[in-house]
A and B are shown apart, each in its own frame.
Chain A
Amino acid sequence: MAYDNSKRANASSLSTMYGRITHNENSRMMKICFCSDMDKSVLLNNFDKRGWMQVTADDDWNFYWAGTQTCRNIFSVDSGYRMHDNQIINHFPNHYELSRKDLLVKNIKRYRKDLERDGSALAEKVNDGGINGPKYLYLDFIPVTFVLPADYNMFVEEYRKNTQSTWIMKPTGKSQGAGIFLINKLSKLKRWSREAKTSFHPAIGKESYVISRYIDNPLLIGGKKFDLRLYVLVTSFRPLKAYLFKLGFCRFCTVKYDTSVTELDNMYVHLTNVSVQKHGGEYNNLHGGKWSVQNLKLYLEGTRGKKVTEKLFGGINWLIVHSLKAVQPVMASDRHCFECYGYDIIIDNNLKAWLVEVNASPSLTSTTVNDRILKYKLIDNILNIVLPPDGIPDVRWNKIPSAENLGNFELLIDEELASQTQEDNILGSMTTGKQRINNRWK
């Protein structure tokens, strides 16, 4: 397989870059045992290449690629399972603080309030004369959102401020576009809530939803709507250590964007989830509607200019970091854990990025050849970052990977490194290796 030769060690990356065949020498002392809930080829091929041995969950594993439920079970008090120092797992026990739509909103709202209470400059508000009142200058990166049925009255109040808006309803517990619909009249919401209550399935009535202001001015490219899927790796929440995968992609709708009311129910126009788009008539199997973020950048720089493009991508890094900071105090920052999040982001036609949601188990199914190569690299790069230099999982390691192990990831924030650099600054003894770390997130 061609992608087996992808750059693992950077020493050989120059030669592999030009398609030369290199031979990996895997000379490890200790055999690493892995366990996986998923038999995805991008995972297994990666573990295979490293010469790891597959075991079951009952055996003594070093590395577990688990489903979220398994992870919660392992960490639950009832299980009585206690991990040892040479074990790591791919989820934080309460990842849902970030990945559940209602909790994410709750955490971000609380984060803003905390900052505001502390008089932080980050919480500065401006009144842009809009009907919605003052806005956060720096923390306005999620569309106005309410949890239903709990915040119903607050929603109605907001709705009445601007009855022209369209709102999007999403069930909090579901993913991949399931159960989502658009609303542009309050009566439609009332009808929905009546139907839900009198439904034959009482469970539906209890299910909670979030309702968000729909971004009705999305950036269109080639007349089509898209969203961004970015991968963010977090290896620790306290101190926060996060990395952004540079090979994210845009997911395109197959149908032209049209906001007319008749199209409101055509979900192919509005939802960019591949799982939704796949059922559309015009889905293309060769590219799967996916376009790389590098191409987006090239296009925006070429047609809109460098400054606005840099501002947009800076804004994206900003919103990722602050969404993580928002959950930082509530996350159980267990040293055995790391997690790769799928960030879904929409860009509006003013080139402002909006966080739509965060997925704690982004799909590892490959839709196209390039998709498979990308996800293979993603897993490979994740492993390089979460494993200490000797390749053996070890929670005592300081989780500071060397620059060449970052692969296609770039450092978003490492509070530990940043504080070290600050101390170094104070001591006046700057070590050259650490200078490149910026601490603008502090």
Chain B
Amino acid sequence: MEELRESSIHHTALKFSEDVKQMKIYNNLYKTVQKLACSPEVCKDDMKNTLELAMKKHGLETEIRNIVFHLIRTSIKSDVKFSMQATDPLNYLRRAGVQWERRVRKSLNTMSAELKTTLQGQVRNQQEKEELQAKWAELSNFQVDLSNYRPVYAPKDLLEVLISLKGPASQKHDDDGVIPRWEFSHISLPVRNLQELRTVFSELLRNEMTVTDWSVTCERILTTRHAPLCQQILKKGLTPTQLRGKIWSIVLGSELEEHHREYWDQLKTTVLSTDSIVDKLVFKDVQLTATNDDQYFVFEDVIYQVMLCFSRDSEIADMIKTDWLNTSKLKQYETPPNNIVPFHGICMFASPFCYLFDSPIALYYTFRAFYVRYCHRLTTINTHNQGIVSLCLLFEKLLQTHEPILWSHFRELQIQPIRVVFKWLMRAFSGHLHPQELLILWDLILGYDSLEILSLLAIIILSFRKESLMQVSTIESIEAVLADLSSIKVLPLVQLALSRD
């Protein structure tokens, strides 16, 4: 038994070291080790021990540990392998995922054909290229005619699809259509209950330190540059503002390296030299959202840069590769290099990072890592335990169990509660909460490595506005009660909800 485990660890280690060799940082890492091996600190008679010691001393050990940490994190797929076994009750969900993906790709392709533009990018004419280059730092002054462009889809389009999801269970006993069917309860995805969430988020309730002590502790932890420790900081929800950017980039493994800059320049060059319909959609999206947002408008030029480079980044396509996306049904449609069809509000995932990073490059890589790990699950139909379907189900179950009065109020009004919170969930509250509060919420997402906090916060907000919600009876007035979240303080609300019985 012991032997078996040994050998399995050995195999895993071998696999990871092969993986590391494929990484961009490997070359530099290897060179540094080589240099160390030649230094007087390393003795050739006791190579193994002295080299290890030297690596520890020069911080290489932490770096390697972090690399392994990120490798393990990204290689664990809680998404069950796509099996087309007819018995799997979730197959219809996967089919719906493919269908949705196919639909948005198709509509992007149709738009592209109608407007006679290309998706993969045609060579930009010299004049436009020069103008774009000259205005790179002030893209808001780059004039594009956007009158014919519309966002490919918006939160409500995805919501309609989700609500109409029909599982095998719901087909059996079809309601007579008087009361809208409860949307997600028929989906057999496992979600946590409040008691389990309390255990998961228990760190949030243990706050015995004073703020100054805490920020000193955080700084000390930050000097170790140890990713799991930094992640631990975020769990408190008390991340010092001045350290947040650094902590996030360590936790996400997105600290700037030389190869990052090179690749950014490459992306920028591609944007300048090729023209794509996605560019127009990026401009359209920024203009519809960030430009008009009193929290983010000052950063609009940075957001243009980031989103344009994002669209050209084929590494993203590799990072989000899931088995079912490779089906032949999808291959007939072209996609932008990053494989992501932009939708209404996609730039709001990048906007909050403007409060953390001055440099667009540093901003880009941390945003990208965050998007790949979390955001994309919010815009695709998937069976992941933190995918949008699971979050909707979690929201629904929590509301039903813990706010039965609200639940029946919604039921009487024949309003599906998910309708009033869906845009919060799909955008991870970006553009809804005040930036300061949003960053705390995203601290928690990163700290607990979980999007479940989104559903929980949605419940909490409904619960705190219950009195007002109970007084109104149309979806418009419900939306009015919930429109302004600027007074919501994330941490005390979540703490209160988790601590009370």
- Write the residues of chain A forming the contact surface with B, with a CB cutoff of 8 angstroms: 2, 17-21, 221-224, 226, 250, 252, 256, 282, 284, 286-287, 289-292, 294-295, 298-299, 301-306, 309, 368, 370
Contacts and interface: CB of A to CB of B under 8 A. Distances in A.
Contacts of A306: 240-242
A301 B293 CA distance: 21
Interface string B77-120: 00000000000000000000000000000000000000000000
Contacts of B292: 284, 286-287
A167 B434 CA distance: 39
A298 B436 contact: yes
A303 B245 contact: yes
Interface stretch (B350-358, B381-389, B442-450): B350-358
A45 B439 CA distance: 35
Contact of B241 (A2, A226, A291, A301): A301
B297 A284 contact: yes
Given A20-B468, A302-B245, 16 more contacts: A2-B484, A18-B487, A21-B471, A256-B138, A284-B291, A286-B292, A290-B294, A291-B298, A294-B434, A295-B435, A298-B241, A301-B241, A302-B241, A302-B244, A302-B357, A306-B241
B330 interface: no
Contacts of B241: 298, 301-302, 306
* Chain B CB within 10 Å, residue with most, of A17, A250, A298, A304: A298
Interface stretch (B63-71, B163-171, B299-307, B397-405): B299-307
14 contacts: A18-B464, A18-B465, A18-B487, A19-B464, A19-B481, A21-B471, A222-B301, A282-B140, A286-B292, A291-B295, A291-B298, A298-B439, A302-B241, A302-B245
Contact of A21 (B140, B355, B435, B468): B468
Interface string B222-265: 00000000000000000011101100000000000000000000
Interface of A is mostly: mixed
B436 A294 contact: yes
Contacts of B354: 222, 299
Given A284-B291, A295-B435, A222 B300 contact: yes
A258 B436 CA distance: 31
B488 interface: yes
Among A18, A289, A306, A370: residue with most chain B CB under 10 A: A18
A236 B426 CA distance: 52
A222 B360 CA distance: 10
Interface in B318-368: 354-358
A417 B298 CA distance: 40
A372 to B, nearest CB: 13
Of all A-B residue pairs in the complex, the 8 with the closest CB atoms, nearest first, are A287-B294, A18-B464, A301-B241, A306-B242, A222-B298, A286-B292, A303-B358, A19-B465
B22 interface: no
B464 A301 contact: no
B467 interface: yes
B9 interface: no
B137 interface: yes
B465 A287 contact: no
B302 A18 contact: no
A290 B488 CA distance: 21
A234 to B, nearest CB: 29
B487 A222 contact: no
Contacts, number: 94
Contacts of A304: 358
Interface in B447-491: 464-465, 467-468, 471, 481-482, 484, 487-489
Contacts of B138: 223, 256
Nearest to A2: B484
Nearest to A285: B292
Given A19-B464, A294-B436, A224 B298 contact: yes
Contacts of B141: 256
B480 to A, nearest CB: 8
A20 B465 contact: yes
Residue picked from B245, B294, B295, B299, most chain A C-beta under 10 Å: B294
Interface residues of B, number: 40
Contacts of A298: 241, 355, 435-436, 439
Nearest to B140: A282
A2 B484 CA distance: 10
A375 to B, nearest CB: 15
Determine the main DSSP class of B at the interface with A: helix
B430 to A, nearest CB: 14
Nearest to A301: B241
A298 B436 CA distance: 7
A222 B354 CA distance: 9
A299 B141 CA distance: 24
A252 B244 CA distance: 26
Given A19-B468, A20-B468, A299-B355, A305 B242 contact: yes
Nearest to A306: B242
A386 B319 CA distance: 60
Contacts of B291: 284
A299 B299 CA distance: 11
A110 B419 CA distance: 64
A117 to B, nearest CB: 41
Contacts of A302: 241-242, 244-245, 355-357
Contacts of B298: 221-222, 224, 226, 250, 252, 291
B295 A295 contact: yes
Contacts of B482: 19
B94 to A, nearest CB: 39
A289 B297 CA distance: 8
Contacts of B481: 19
A19 B484 contact: yes
Contacts of B355: 295, 298-299, 302-303
A177 to B, nearest CB: 20
Given A222-B300, A302-B355, A21 B245 contact: no
A303 B356 CA distance: 6
Contacts of A289: 297
Contacts of A18: 464-465, 487-488
B467 A20 contact: yes
B215 to A, nearest CB: 8
A151 to B, nearest CB: 37
Contacts of A282: 140
A286 B294 contact: yes
Given A221-B298, A287-B292, A290-B294, A21 B240 contact: no
A223 B294 contact: no
Nearest to A305: B242
Nearest to B292: A286
B217 to A, nearest CB: 15
B377 to A, nearest CB: 26
B369 to A, nearest CB: 18
A19 B298 CA distance: 28
A251 to B, nearest CB: 11
A291 B487 contact: no
Nearest to A286: B292
Q: Which of A226, A299, A303, A304 has the most CB of B within 10 A?
A: A303
Contacts of A17: 487, 489
Nearest to B135: A256
A411 B137 CA distance: 41
Given A19-B464, A302-B355, A222 B488 contact: no
A250 B354 CA distance: 17
A287 B244 contact: no
Nearest to B362: A303
Contacts of B488: 18
A291 B240 contact: no
